[in-house]
Structure 1
Amino acid sequence: MAASEGTATSHRARVSSRIAGITPSATLAVDAKAKALKAEGRPVIGFGAGQPDFPTPDHVVEAAAASVRDRANHGYTAAAGLPELREAIAAKTLRDSGFACEASQVLVTNGGKQAVYSAFATLLDPGDEVLLLAPYWTTYPESITLAGGVPVQVTADEATGYRVTVEQLEAARTERTKVLLFNSPSNPTGAVYSREQVAAIGRWAAEHDIWVVTDEIYEHLVYDGATAESMPAVVPELADRTLILNGVAKTYSMTGWRVGWIVGPDDVIKAASSFQSHLCGNVANVSQRAALAAVAGPLDVVDRMREAFDSRRKRIVSMLSEIPGVECPTPEGAFYAYPSVKALLGKEIRGQRPADTVELADLILAEAEVAVVPGEAFGTPGYFRFSYALAEDDLVEGVTRVASLLSEAV
């Protein structure tokens, strides 16, 4: 009996189809590959990671260090977040987004990725459709699918500065459409929607009773007079059907501290908090104390980082645009450039003819020792994402190597 039972169970999948179907993060994979080659002594320059290269501000680090010695931080705390941090996030949301909310409408999460997944796990039933603006961040479709939803891609290209229109959204809408996922400033393109565009999309969503999940994590990284408009502030009638996602990672150079949040209607936040109470409980208290110091503190350090990013932005766009076959719109936000390299595909470069941007990225890593993320990771083959969150000397050297290699295309 035992042997037959063993035989029967051996045919069962060891990993669930739900988890086995996940595509690993392409951006983290590229970053890991670059670091592994560096560890071997190769002079690889990586444009893959989406994290600032600045240290976390001193006052934030000091707040965390002090919190370690406070026994109040050594045990469990409320799953939804420290009350004083939730209050501070509500105040910061009004200050930065122009959207008024109460502390009860805030859920503190383990980074922005958990905020994304928890938002969809709370909103979606199996088969619900989510309009996904492409190019998109790699984690979005995976989170939607894991939550039982169906991502419906709505694609914009360089001709429109990677901004979709209401007409495109309406063409993609069906009776199963429940959520629009909005991200401005955008990862991976750096696109920033104008107030007029945000208003038009928000009014369309409100008209059709569609929820909006708006990811505002790059809100402070905008250039050339652009502003990051928060959709529920621009379209107040949408507020009761909107979840705002944000976190400290990009604004305060705190990617490793793992603090994000969701702002939304009380009933949805209560439900998401219940989910989190079983999933992981409270975010690490030391990280929450650090986040409190960040969101309640001054923005001068953020202004200095933005100035540095702006300088790099201008440099990388100028250099990429000089490469024959490369078209690079100027990003207005975040710290990414997203050039089209479609004109180079199929051309011979050092004996190879890359058929897609995955193959071209592999060739660039092998021959130029530069790591870039192919557009396939963001739902749009034919493009590369370059993060310019790296030292300017490395940026110049890396793009110079890429330009030298691609100039050989025939």
Structure 2
Amino acid sequence: MTTGSSSPRDRRVSQRLGSIAESATLKVDAKAKALKAEGRPVIGFGAGEPDFPTPDYVVEAAVEACRDPRNHRYSPAGGLPELKQAIVEKTRRDSGYEVETNQVLVTNGGKHAIYDAFAAMLDPGDEVIVPAPYWTTYPEAIRLAGGVPVEVLADDTQDYKVTVDQLEAARTERTKVLLFVSPSNPTGAVYTSDEIREIGRWVEDHQLWVLTDEIYEHLVYDDVDTGSLPVLCPDLADHCVVVNGVAKTYAMTGWRVGWMIGPADLVKAATNLQSHATSNVANVAQRAAIAAVSGDLSAVNEMKDAFDRRRRTIVSMLNEIEGVVCPTPQGAFYAYPSVKDLLGREHDGVRLSTSAELAEFVLDRVEVAVVPGEAFGSPGYLRLSYALGDDDLVEGITRLQKLFA
């Protein structure tokens, strides 16, 4: 054998997958749960997961579906016709967006919808403008689809919302898609209707595509005047993909049902991909999703009231910590405080230089799990989900207050 040579077998993992990072939020959540399993009193602010059970009527629909032999078989790769119709009606009811069933693809959760959408839109080298702070999955899904994420940072001084001037500065001849997320994960930022219209005009002027993630559409506070991008900017509808799902609104993260809505030809292409990748979403979960999106929003509003209460509590308590600045989020269930003034100083004999080191420090010293801003493209910040019980929330932030007193 020739020294220094390598065979294809030596490259054990493809470069495409070898370059993909593990989900930082799921990693933090898994570590917190593992420590809890050891009996340690860890309080986890890491996962974006409602702490409420799935509504009873949704669970009952799933139980009934289990007994129906129709659901024991393959079904159309693009989704049950009944669910696609229910999504059409739910979209009209909740956002005023009129679509047809051939514009809907039911996916294995919102992440799957995002990947399917980018895979359908992007060719190798196409650029996607990604406002930061961003959810950890977006850049990785873009890279997997052959695209190039181009980050545009909006910090706390601008309420985590990008401007048209920033977008224009990032645009090149290779730009094909703008990723637009409101309400935002990880910051909770919500764009107003006027801000959305301004961005929509910019997208249309430059004949770009836009992917808008509306998974947190029902979690908007303070009566913010906002709306769905393709409704506020109807000229964009033929070049717009909307991603949504049941996970956050109906406390159904584990059921894995999401969807994408877009032009019929794009949705057909994404459906073809899904037919080879996964086939249909589990039928029982789809039947549960029908019950969820077809029902009223009373259970949703009860959860929203609880999130709103926790929102006000966590922001107030975080801002009591010297060196922490936490803007008030107007959507979702995340607080995204700046901790820059805590860095470069010694705490309990340890000098912390980065927010990643800070997150490790608080988990080690007071057993509180948070996600550092490095995971979201903005070092110097922490993300804390307030989708946990009120008592745990207060106890967790109290531990931070004592640690940094």
Q: What TM-score does the superposition give when structure 1 sets the normalisation length?
A: 0.97
Give the match for residue 395 of structure 2. Answer: 397
Please say if 1:221 is aligned against 2:219: yes
Provide the C-alpha distance between the structure 2 equivalents of 1:323 and 1:389, rounded to a whole number of angstroms.
Answer: 21
Shift of 1:350: 1.1
Aligned to 1:234: 232
- Among 284, 309, 315, the alignment partner of 2:282 is 284
Q: What amino acid maps onto 1:145 in structure 2?
A: R
Structure 1 residue 175 and structure 2 residue 173: aligned? yes
Pairing of 1:139-288 with structure 2 (within 5 A): 139-288=137-286
- Take 1:298 and 1:229, find their aligned partners in 2: how far apart are those partners? 20
Task: Say which SS state the counterpart of residue 54 (structure 1) adopts.
Answer: coil
In the alignment of these two chains, the number of paired residues is 403
In structure 2, how many angstroms separate the alpha carbons of the residues matched to 1:226 and 1:81? 33
Alignment equivalent of 2:342, drawn from 341, 344, 367 = 344
1:383 to 381, 384, 393: 381
Q: Structure 1 CA distance, aligned partners of 2:87 and 2:245? A: 9
Picking from 115, 133, 136, the partner of 2:134 is 136
1:95 and 2:93 matched: yes
**Using the alignment, how far apart are the partners of 2:89 and 2:258 within structure 1?**
15
Contact 1:259 1:288 in 2 (8 A): yes
State the TM-score, normalized to the length of structure 2.
0.98
> Which runs of no fewer than 5 residues in structure 1 stay unpaired?
none
AA aligned opposite 2:285: S
Q: State the superposition RMSD in angstroms.
A: 1.1
SS in 1 for 2:188: coil
Counterpart residue number, 1:310: 308
Residue type at the aligned position of 1:328 = C
Q: Aligned letter for 1:38?
A: K
Stretches of structure 2 that go unaligned for 5 or more consecutive residues are: none
Residue identity over aligned pairs, in percent, reads 65
Whether 2:1 is the aligned partner of 1:15: answer no
Matched residue type, 1:126 = P
Superposition deviation, residue 10 in structure 1: 7.5
TM-superposed CA distance for 1:227, in Å, is 4.5
Counterpart AA for 1:158: D
Residue of structure 2 equivalent to 1:25: 23
- Give the 3-state SS of the residue equivalent to 1:80 in structure 2: coil
Residue 347 of structure 2 aligns to a residue whose secondary structure is coil
Give deviations 1:86-143, integer Å, cap 9, x for gaps: 0110111111111100011000000000001111011000000000010000000000
Aligned to 2:103: 105
Shift, 1:229, TM fit: 1.3
The amino acid of 2:339's aligned partner reads: V
- CA drift at 1:9: 3.5
Of 45, 49, 60, 1:51 maps to: 49
Q: 2:298 aligns with which of 297, 300, 305?
A: 300
Q: Deviations over 1:67-104 (max 9, x none)?
A: 00101111100000000100110111111111100011
